[in-house]
Amino acid sequence: MATVAFAPTLTRRIPLAQIDAAVSARLGPTRIPGNAQPACFNRQIAMYLARHVGRWSTTVIGRFYNGRDHSTVCHSIQRIETLRETDPEVDGLITDLRRELSRDADPVQARPCQGQSAILNRLNEISIDELAELVAERVCVYLEVRIGQLDRLPEPMDRTTDDKDLQIGA
């Protein structure tokens, strides 16, 4: 029997506010209206880190930064990726900020949610077949509960009517 050799990491993301605070402390403000420099560059750095370090979607990142469109976030990420390849200072800055965010991440947020560690340990000990059986059992219990709830619903009213009860255009 094959065993589960790994389980997905179930950790929380680094909050966007924490990423923004780290970039703002290092470079200056990021969440101001308009596209004036250096705030625009600072915001692009923050968006890049939010995507790659925080693993946030471009839509969520855009909303956080004054309701910007996800395509604006994509452009920012591409611009910073290009700058990292061509400018060693930008690459060093991103590396330092990544290290800072990883080091300063709240230890509570880096741990799996309550009860997940026990589940992950159990997943590493059981086979695929046992896991499938556990999932099937949980689905059956769920369905039994849902069907039981449906059985307790009041009976629908009988809505059959005769043609004489229908008055069209009256």
Q: Where are the domains of the chain?
A: 16-110, 116-151
Mean pLDDT confidence for 142-168 = 66
* Whether the predicted pLDDT of 79 surpasses 90: yes
Q: Is pLDDT above 80 for 39? A: yes
Average pLDDT, the chain: 79
Distance of CA 133 to the CA centre of its chain: 28
Higher pLDDT, 167 or 34: 34
Q: Which CATH class is domain 16-110?
A: mainly alpha
pTM above 0.85, yes or no: no
Q: Provide the pLDDT for residue 96.
A: 94
Smallest Cα–Cα separation from 13: which of 109, 107, 79? 109
For residues 7 and 123, the answer to whether their CB atoms sit within 8 Å is yes
Place of tokens 């029997």: 1
